[in-house]
Each structure stands twice: as C-alpha cells, then as structure tokens.
Amino acid sequence: PTAARHEDKETIRIDSPNVTYSAEDIKSRYEYNTTHVQKSTNAQGKTEYVAKPVKSTYEFKTETKVPKTGLMLVGWGGNNGTTISACILANKHNITWHNKEGLQTPNYYGSLVRASTIRLGEDPETGKDVYVPFSNLLPTVHPNDFVVGGWDISGHSLTDAMTRAKVLDYDLQRQVAPYMADMKPLPSVYYPDFIAANQGERADNVIPGNDKAAHVEHVRKDIRDFKQANGLDKVIVVWTANTERYAEIIPGVNDTADNLLNAVKNSHEEVSPSTIFAVACILENAPYINGAPQNTFVPGAIQLAERHRAFIGGDDLKTGQTKVKSVIADFLVNAGIKPLGISSYNHLGNNDGYNLSSARQFRSKEISKASVVDDMVYANHLLYKRGAEADKASSAKAVAEKGEHPDHIVVIKHVPAVGDQKVAMDDYTSELCLGGRNRLYLTNLCEDSLLASPLLIDLAIMAELCTRVTYSAREGPAADSPAKPEEFQSLYSVLSLLSYSLKAPVVKPGSDVVNSLARQRSAVTNFMRACVGLQPENDLLLSQRLW
Ligand code: NAI
Ligand code: DG6
C-alpha cells in the first residue's frame, strides 16, 4: 500500500517532556482530572453535594502513518452518496465551474475536520490566540485520498444517480461526470419491509435470495475484494441509505451477540439490512457508522462489536435543524430561560423526504430528532422539576422523560416541488421571569445534501483516526513507568467521540448521551489534545484576568 498523497502545509509539534515522537507514533503521558460528586441528605435535612477532585494517568499512542483508506457507502447512489463523491472528485482534480454567482472553486465547507480550526494556545509575545486546522492536530486522512465505493439497491451509475439527485450545478455535474461514469454501486441487501414501499421501484440492484447469513458473507466479501482491488490498508463503511423502520428488540433474537448471530443464521425477519451490514463490518473489522436514524445497533450488535473490539458509531447525521437545536436549547437552558415548547417543521422534496412520507420510517426520524434536548432538560433541575422517581432512573434521558420537560413536536412533509432545498422551521417558546414569554422563530433553508455530505467524510476520517489511537491506564506500581507495547489497548468500540455529527449518539451502554453541540466539540478537540499531551482547552484566560 502506498502512503496518502495529499499533505497539508502546516504541521504541529508539541514541545513537552510528556510527549515523545518516533517514526511510528506519538506517545503522550496524560493526567486526566475529573470530579466525583456524592449526593446525600445531611443532618439538617438539606441535600448536600460533596465534590472530590480525582486524577488518573494514561499513556496515549497514536500511529502516525496515515493508511490508504477506502470509504464504502451504503446508499452510494443516493443524494448524499453522489454529492460527496462529486465533492471529493472536484477537490481532487481541482475542478472549477460556473453558476449564476460566477466562478466556483471546490472546498470542504461544512466539514468539521477539513474546514474548521482548533485553538492551539496563545502567542506569549502578542497574547493572541493561535488557531490551527482541526485536521492537523493529529495525522488524519485527507478526503481527496479516500478511495470511494459502495452499494445501492438502485443500479444507476454514479453519473446517472447524480443527475437524478438534482443537487449540484449543471456545470459541475458536466465536469465530474466522466470521472463517475465507471462508478457503479454494488448490489445490496434489500428487505422491502424495512424501508418505505415507495422505494420499491428503485430496487433493481439487489443481492438475490433470502438467506441472511449468505448476505452477511456477501457483504464481507465485497469489503475484502474492494480492499484488495484498491490496495487499501483500511476500509470505513458508512450507512447513508434510506431510513429504515425500527427493528423490534426481541429477547432471544437481537438482545445478545450470540442471539443476533443465530437470528442471522435463521434469517429472522427482524434483522434489518443495516444490521446485516453492521454484522459484516464487525466481522471484517471495518469501522461502521450509521448515518440514518434507525436502531441498527440493537443490543446484540453492540455486544458483537465489543467482543471483536470492532468500531461502530451512530446514529443519524446531525446537519441543520437538529444541530441548531443542540445549540439553541443549550443556550436557553444554560441562560436560565425555560423552553416550554419546541415545534419543528420540515418539508423537502428529495428521495429522503419521499421515504420519510411513510409512517414507520418517519417514526425513526421523529425519535432521533426529538431526543436532542434530553440532556439539557436533565442539566437544570431549577427549571424542570424532576419526578419522585428521578433518583432511581437509570439515565439522564429517563430522568428527563419522567420529570417535567418541554413539549416537543417534529413534523416532516414531502413536497416534491422543493427538491433537495429542505425547509426547516422552528418555534421555541420559552418562559421568562415573572411569567413572560419569549418566542424564537428560526428558518433554515439549504440544499440538504450539501449540508449533510461533508459529515460523511468527517465521520470516516474521525473513525479512521480512532483506530490508530491506543491507550494504557497507568496505575498501581507501574504508574511512573512508560507503558510496554503489550499494555496498550484500543478505544472502546462505540465511538461516542463522533457525536458532534450525529443526532442521536450511540454511547457505551449505561452512560449518558451528550447532545450539546459545544460539549460534543470540546470532547473531540480535548481528546485530540490529550493524544498530544496538551491539557483540555478552557477559557480561564488567567493572563487577562490577573495582574
Ligand atoms: P437518498 O434517498 O437520496 O439516498 C438513499 C439511497 O439508499 C438511495 O439511493 C437508495 O436506493 C439506497 N438504499 C436504500 N436501501 C438500501 C440498502 N439496503 N442498501 C443500499 N442502498 C440502499 O437519501 P439521502 O438524502 O442521500 O440521505 C441518506 C440517509 O441519510 C437517509 O436515511 C437520511 O434520512 C439520512 N440523512 C440525510 C440527511 C440529508 O441532509 N440529506 C441528513 C441527515 C440524515
Ligand atoms: C427531514 O427532516 C429530512 C431529514 O432526513 C433531515 O434532512 C435530516 O435528518 C437532517 O435533519 P437535521 O435536523 O439535522 O437538519
């Protein structure tokens, strides 16, 4: 395998005794400081919180060789799949095009990794903040170097599929078309009951038969063949296919890894196509991210990933309305303003909207769009009274559901006339002091797929990076000594670090979901800082506040 071709112009080196660089890796020794809190009722009957600072030490190791990486998309012929493929080609071949605004040049706007920066620190001479590209803090795959492929139940070539999507300017389509003409999605797993009946007419490119175990093996072989044919070191798979209905969680069927494997063997009807891909990817050790809202990661799939130390992440790309909601709700609640009701309307005319016009698929999207304020409600018991059962509830989500919470509705309608130009409208009604009301109205209008597609590369780049990071907890007698190679282990299987780009993040069972966009971003940037031995970024800015 050859090394990645595209190199960034800026590099970062950390000058610290806690960090070592070698030809193969960056090692950092890292002190993790957190706070443990115990809640009790004291002798006077008051609730008392006792907070105790706790520290633990870790060593992180990040392999620095960026592998030649394949990105396989399930739903490659859809709006997102074709748009991101064209975007990568336009960037790679530096294709410029004209639209009514004038000459356009390719970029990766909307990509957290490729178009945003991280505050590295401050210049001691000038006191000015210093920002570096997000993609450069650790070595990451350049999206131009992804070898892109994938599956679709529709057999259109990528050129025809791009034309069908009606997302890109014609002059751009015209120029990327020759590069795409030979790109044809592989046949895929199609179980009609899981997506809307109206998708049936697209399904002309399906893996034959009803044997689900054979389907898993087929997908596994596709991944291996793709890897071999393109000389790849790694393959990342992202589900950007239609939203499926929820799979029923049935004890004995999909509740444990063994039961799920058995259910696949018996071709049980509740194993969805997206879970077939999950099982295949886990068994092939290809990280698998679910960009749609359905419950692909049934408990058995999570357990299977844990067993194989494989990486999974999901669910549902967080793009416009929900991303803004994870900022606005956070702002309101943290400002002490009480959201009473959030009403979110969407209408769109693309194939995603067509599929979502069916009730069971809409329900999956409704659940993922509605879950995004749970942690903010939980975070403020001054605004939202908790039910008597709150202390016994197993998660922040359960506390939020049992106690007081805002009314929250989500409406999605298919309006063919607007095509990919999705319209999202929100009404936030909140309570101010002394019974006042605050109404915030928001309209978000954009090409849905141009907003969503860069997230596919962000998810793939970050998932790939996570496969190269290992760690060792330094405790007990070994605490002061550097970790031996055999003491390093991989990160936990469910990549909650990807949450920034996901509406309903899947997390380690038993842990609470963080939906707040700011917290999600600082989690990932601080994690990357930890890998190079830098303390978490904070806004103490003591140099400004002390004499
Ligand atoms: P799309 O409908 O244009 O594309 C989906 C593609 O998946 C279609 O080409 C379809 O033929 C294919 N497909 C369906 N079942 C399949 C299977 N079992 N295997 C392989 N291919 C299959 O939808 P779009 O707009 O590209 O969105 C893709 C997914 O991402 C949807 O689930 C959507 O809800 C989700 N999403 C989209 C966002 C956006 O802004 N476009 C944002 C957030 C999530
Ligand atoms: C209707 O809302 C269609 C959906 O697929 C959304 O476009 C997509 O989930 C993005 O939603 P949001 O809330 O992140 O803008």
**4 membership: H or E segment, kind and range:** none
Atom of ligand 2 nearest to the CA of 243: 5
Atom of ligand 1 nearest to the CA of 244: 32
Rounded Cα gap, residues 239 and 217, in angstroms = 18
Mean predicted confidence (pLDDT) in 277-297: 98
Output the pTM of the full model.
0.95
**Nearest Cα to 293, choosing from 312, 275, 317, 313?**
317
Assigned token pair, 250: 């049935």
Rounded Cα gap, residues 400 and 378, in angstroms = 5
Q: Which ligand is nearest to the CA of 348?
A: 2
Percent of the chain with pLDDT strictly greater than 90: 85
Q: Which ligand is nearest to the CA of 238?
A: 1
Active site residue 365: yes
pLDDT over 80 at 392, yes or no: no
Percent of the chain with pLDDT strictly greater than 70: 97
Give the model's pLDDT for residue 391: 65
Check if the beta carbon of residue 449 is closer than 8 Å to that of residue 511.
no
List, in order, residues 6 or more apart from 353 with CB less than 8 Å away: 347, 412, 413, 414, 415, 422
Pairwise pLDDT comparison (396 vs 420), residue with the higher score: 420
pLDDT over 60 at 2, yes or no: no
**Catalytic choice (152, 316, 330, 426):** 316
DSSP class of residue 472?
E
Of 219-233, 252-266, 294-308, 403-417, the least confident: 403-417
pLDDT over 80 at 114, yes or no: yes
Give the model's pLDDT for residue 395: 72
| Ligand 2 pocket, residues with Cβ under 6 angstroms | 318-323, 346, 348, 352-353, 356, 365, 369, 412, 422, 424, 448, 503
- The residue type found at 317 is L
Q: Which ligand is nearest to the CA of 167?
A: 1
Cα atoms in the Cβ-side hemisphere of radius 13 Å centred on 273: 25
**Catalytic choice (27, 92, 338, 503):** 503
Atom of ligand 1 nearest to the CA of 503: 43
C-alpha 233 – ligand 1 centre gap (Å): 27
Phi-psi region of 166 (alpha: psi -120 to 50; beta: other; left: phi over 0): left
ipTM of the complex: 0.98
| Ligand 1 pocket, residues with Cβ under 6 angstroms | 74-75, 77-81, 151-154, 188-190, 195, 202, 240-243, 273, 291-292, 316-317, 319, 350-352, 355, 448-449, 451-452
Check if the beta carbon of residue 287 is closer than 8 Å to that of residue 312.
yes
Among 323, 367, 422, residue to substitute to test ligand 2 (most atoms within 8 Å of Cβ)? 422
C-alpha dihedral (176, 182, 185, 187), degrees to nearest 10: 160
Mean predicted confidence (pLDDT) in 247-267: 97
**Nearest Cα to 27, choosing from 468, 492, 536, 464?**
468
Peptide bond into 315 cis (omega under 30): yes
Give the model's pLDDT for residue 526: 96
Give the model's pLDDT for residue 4: 45
The burial of 340, by beta-carbon neighbours within 10 Å (0-12 exposed, 13-18 middle, 19 or more buried), is given as middle
Residue 476 pLDDT grade (very low, low, confident, very high; cuts 50, 70, 90): confident
C-alpha 369 – ligand 2 centre gap (Å): 8
C-alpha 505 – ligand 2 centre gap (Å): 15
Rounded Cα gap, residues 357 and 182, in angstroms = 33
Assigned token pair, 2: 């050859």
Assigned token pair, 193: 């009951």
C-alpha 292 – ligand 2 centre gap (Å): 10
Which residues in 392-539 belong to E strands, given as ranges?
Answer: 407-414, 421-431, 437-447, 469-474, 489-490
How much is the mean pLDDT over the chain?
Answer: 94
pLDDT over 90 at 63, yes or no: yes
Rounded Cα gap, residues 38 and 418, in angstroms = 53
pLDDT over 80 at 390, yes or no: no
Give the model's pLDDT for residue 1: 38
Active site residue 484: no
Instruction: Please name the residue whose Cα sits nearest to atom 10 of ligand 2.
Output: 319
Give the model's pLDDT for residue 253: 97
Give the model's pLDDT for residue 377: 83
**Nearest Cα to 319, choosing from 418, 420, 419?**
420
Atom of ligand 1 nearest to the CA of 452: 40
C-alpha 408 – ligand 2 centre gap (Å): 16
Q: Which ligand is nearest to the CA of 192?
A: 1
Active site residue 184: no
Active site residue 503: yes
**Catalytic choice (365, 375, 420, 448):** 365
